[in-house]
Amino acid sequence: MEDPVGEDAGAKGHGNMTDLPPAAESDEATRIAGLRSSFGRGLLGTPLTGLRLSWAVRSENADARQLEYQLAVSSGNGEWDVQPAIAGEVSTGIRDARGFSAREVRRYAVRVRTQVGWTAWSTPLTVEAGVPGDELDARVIGIPSEVAGPVPLLRREFRLETAPRSARLRLSALGLVDAWINGVRVSDALLTPGWTSYQKRVLVDTLDVTDLLRAGDNVLVAAVGDGWYRGPFGFARRTAIYGDRIGVLAQLELTSPDGATEIIASDESWRGGFGAVRSAGIYDGTIIDQSLDAVGVHEPGFDDTGWTQASIIETDLARFEPRASEPVRVIAEREMSIERRNDRLLLDSGQNVSGWVRLVVRGAAGDVVTIRHAEVLEPSGELHTAALRKAKATDVYTLASDGEHVLEPVFTFHGFRYADVVGDAEVVSATAIAISSDLEPRSTFRSSDAALDQFHSNVLWSQRDNFVSVPTDCPQRDERLGWTGDAQAFAATANTLLDTEAFWMSWLRDLEIDQTDEGGVPSVVPDIIRRQDMLMGGTPTDNMGRAGWADAATIVPLAVYESYGSTEVLERQLDSMRRWVGHLRRRAGHGIVLPTEPFQYGDWLDPDAPAARPWEAKVSSDYVANAFYVHSARLVARAERLVGDAQAASQYDALADSVAAATWERWGEEAVSTQTGAALALEFRIAPEERRAGLADALAANVARSDGRISTGFLGTPLVLFALSNNGHVAEAYRMVLRHEAPSWLYQVDRGATTVWERWDAILPDGSIHGGDMDAGNSGGESGGMLSFNHYAYGAMIDWVYRTVAGLAPDAESPGYRTVHVAPRPARALDRAAATIATGLGELSIDWRLDGDALEATLTVPFGARALLDLPLTESSTVTVNGDPAPAELHHGTHRITVTAPAVA
Ligand code: BGC
């Protein structure tokens, strides 16, 4: 029974940490394995609202269920407030309805009651709230500086009587900022504050800098780069997109040992000047001349004659807000091989990454070292730099002294596997530094097919390389934009590979911010593309509301909900979702279906589209647009039903049904004749019920006829395998997946790809590199190349691999893996697969193999989840679990499943 809460734990249920009430009846076989917050791991200074808690439970008791849970909250004074127990099994997405005040620290502990009794309390989780921009004393400050010119340094010296008991630095910028206290970098975060829709939202990092401060003189220095804010960006290379002045926002908050507080904030008392960094741009790279280093800048008493007084950059501080998702950090370091090629050294990291090269060189004062980057080599062995378009992706260093130097660029990143170095200095070592938004890995996959495993690795790397603050199309050329089409195509896969919930929720806020008053959703978020930037076939193109791109507004929130299980993403996005479908409805007017638009991307990069006109897919873009209209309307209906208005839900469903019927009537033939057409008709339920089986047969026949040749672009690719396997054609799905001839997924693997290509044939069967030409392409018409080796869109098939090969799928109605469909589909050509997914409830895993005439699977289900078995059966199959007849559903624990005479594709 329940504890006499608080009776022995201080007045009214309060007590200090050790006083959390013990359980009268306790379940010692069950414990809380992890209590976590919905904000990024280890973040300090989080938003004041929106906190959700989740915990995983481990239990040796197979029958244990969470009957209720109880939270204890401690608000700084060490006393616990034990809250009333709440009945139910839910253990993810638990909100603390009370918002935080600025800087408030709260600790949480949780325990759950099973049939046996209460567990022990979890290890406490500490949450420390940040400070909203309009409560900051700091001002954004800068000194005059040129776009792509020397990087300003801003500096302030201050004296402390004693070393502080604690110190927090709130740090942000209009631009990008690095900061040091007494010469030590304040954080391992990179590209701070990251990219958001700056006109409305700039993030603030909070850092614990207690250990960097000392009694006596201290020095705080910040460097401010152009970054996304002011540097040349977008394929039109416009500058000053968000503003023409860059500056830093820094607020150091000190608490002395006696409890006195002091704030040292960026203001006009700071002084600024320049140092060794002569130029730093995201696309172009960094130029560093060590001889111009501001020597002694980190020391007290630095001679700043020649420096200027900082001035305040007037800006609305309300747009500064605490960060909620992990920042960009170094996620891997790879030693590069070094080979001499004529006048240069060729470096190879063996893996396409986003980041830069750390060079250790030995040289003489005045030596210049130039390093260029590329994803692939020309057949001649030279770097292939055409694909970079106008991005220089070059770092240049001038040495100031004889001897060994460690060289690294700042405020930039390159997409590369190879690099070449020219210069007199001797290269001692070269390390590829890979960066990414530091999201926790969530899954693993391996199978009996080494090429498929490599493709999985390539997709994961493409996600890493492109999740750099926002989800981008590619990390190497003069683009690196948050293309919404690529994001929606990849969202479900992204959710499985890395813990992306907070990342998406941040980006979706920008999507909503950048939505037009009429509900139109841009093709890139943050939206920096203006109409005139984009030319397709020579004509300016409207970037708003393009089918399959703008639908990220509905598709991404539902994908996040399904994978992570909290309705919060839907609550936050519902208005944006409604406005997008409202926009489509207005565009359709009285005609039910959408009229033909001057331009749609359509099934972009269909392998049969003319190479230079990737929007000219086989399938009609009008049909595609209406299919996505139907899908978005249905997704809004689901969101309405879950968190909005049930009546509105029925209206959206009715809208979807009528558009689907009209679409089918008008374009049904499209559906039968192309892979993407059929996939849309089946997966988005455009085809009437009675036509589905025939349509699926036609799709399967199409695939069989072409020997598994994929003929879909960005929009059809995420759907086509599901359209097959959900309709009884697993064998044909495998035929596509395991095909090695171009175009196919594994063709790239055979060609040495380590990330996913943008074009199916980026390297042609004869080994030559695709020209990448675009008709007066969207690069503004000049260089026109469109050829990236690191685009995740086609990697969207990995979602199918988890759900259908490994056989672990979250249930749409009982999301976040609370209900898991265990549905592995073995094939003769793939007789073993294993996967793990770190769900919010704990680890879910499967390891299956075909063994003689049986399928043997080991399935581990986390506490709080139920697994529904959907096994590959034939008429003569029997199913046992741990030797007994299979129950209807399985709960936590490890289960050995045997299926005799399984269906094998
Ligand atoms: C990007 C794509 C994007 C497309 C839309 C390309 O330049 O790299 O991934 O979705 O444009 O036109």
Task: Indicate which residue's Cα is closest to atom 3 of ligand 1.
Answer: 483
Minimum-distance ligand 1 atom for the alpha carbon of 779:
7
Told to judge if 758 belongs to the known catalytic residues of this protein, a careful annotator would answer: yes
- Mutation pick for ligand 1 pocket among 473, 484, 613 (CB with most ligand atoms within 8 Å): 473
Minimum-distance ligand 1 atom for the alpha carbon of 485:
10
Distance 473 CA to ligand 1 centre (A): 7
Distance 323 CA to ligand 1 centre (A): 28
Catalytic one among 479, 501, 562, 640?
479
Q: How far apart are CA 48 and CA 129, in angstroms?
A: 6
Distance 539 CA to ligand 1 centre (A): 16
Q: How far apart are CA 366 and CA 432, in angstroms?
A: 25
Minimum-distance ligand 1 atom for the alpha carbon of 778:
7
Q: How far apart are CA 904 and CA 22, in angstroms?
A: 53
Minimum-distance ligand 1 atom for the alpha carbon of 615:
12
Told to judge if 326 belongs to the known catalytic residues of this protein, a careful annotator would answer: no
Distance 168 CA to ligand 1 centre (A): 41
154: tokens are 């801003």
Tokens 């500086």: give the residue. 145
Minimum-distance ligand 1 atom for the alpha carbon of 536:
12
- Mutation pick for ligand 1 pocket among 528, 778, 783, 789 (CB with most ligand atoms within 8 Å): 778
Question: Which pLDDT score is estimated for 883?
Answer: 95
Distance 274 CA to ligand 1 centre (A): 37
Distance 482 CA to ligand 1 centre (A): 9
Question: Residue 145 half-sphere exposure, CB side, CA atoms within 13 Å?
Answer: 36
Minimum-distance ligand 1 atom for the alpha carbon of 235:
7
- Mutation pick for ligand 1 pocket among 477, 534, 536, 604 (CB with most ligand atoms within 8 Å): 604
Report CA dihedral (663, 669, 673, 675) to the nearest 10 degrees: 10
Catalytic one among 79, 326, 640, 758?
758
Distance 349 CA to ligand 1 centre (A): 27
Instruction: Output the CA–CA distances (angstroms, integers) from residue 814 to 351, 565, 809, in the order listed.
Output: 38, 8, 11
Residue 348 C-alpha from the chain's centroid: 26
Minimum-distance ligand 1 atom for the alpha carbon of 614:
12
Instruction: Output the CA–CA distances (angstroms, integers) from residue 813 to 13, 425, 725, 821, in the order listed.
Output: 38, 62, 20, 12
For residue 268, how many other CB atoms are within 10 A of its CB? Answer: 11
Question: Which pLDDT score is estimated for 19?
Answer: 72
* H and E: helices and strands count for the chain: 14, 46
For residue 812, how many other CB atoms are within 10 A of its CB? Answer: 12
Q: Which regions of the chain are under pLDDT 50? A: 1-17, 779-783
Question: Which pLDDT score is estimated for 542?
Answer: 80
Instruction: Output the CA–CA distances (angstroms, integers) from residue 677 to 95, 673, 684, in the order listed.
Output: 42, 7, 10
Q: For strands 535-536 and 539-540, give the pairing.
A: antiparallel
Helices 646-673 & 568-588 angle (0-180, nearest 10): 60
Task: Indicate which residue's Cα is closest to atom 8 of ligand 1.
Answer: 473
Minimum-distance ligand 1 atom for the alpha carbon of 486:
10
- Mutation pick for ligand 1 pocket among 388, 389, 486 (CB with most ligand atoms within 8 Å): 486
Where does ligand 1 bind, in terms of residues with CB under 6 Å? 473-474, 479, 483, 485-486, 601, 604, 778, 786, 791
Distance 387 CA to ligand 1 centre (A): 14
Distance 786 CA to ligand 1 centre (A): 9
Q: Supply the Cα-derived Rg of the chain in whole angstroms.
A: 28
Helix (H, G, I), strand (E, B) or coil at 603: coil
Please tell me the pTM assigned to this model: 0.96
Helix (H, G, I), strand (E, B) or coil at 783: coil
Distance 597 CA to ligand 1 centre (A): 18
Q: How far apart are CA 615 and CA 748, in angstroms?
A: 22
Distance 611 CA to ligand 1 centre (A): 14
Task: Indicate which residue's Cα is closest to atom 9 of ligand 1.
Answer: 473
Minimum-distance ligand 1 atom for the alpha carbon of 483:
10
Amino acid in position 478: D
Question: Which pLDDT score is estimated for 784?
Answer: 52
Task: Indicate which residue's Cα is closest to atom 4 of ligand 1.
Answer: 483
Q: Which of 417, 423, 390 is nearest to 783 (CA)?
A: 390
Report CA dihedral (267, 271, 275, 277) to the nearest 10 degrees: 20
Amino acid in position 756: V
Q: How far apart are CA 614 and CA 537, in angstroms?
A: 10
192: tokens are 């701070």
Distance 604 CA to ligand 1 centre (A): 8
Question: Which pLDDT score is estimated for 781?
Answer: 43
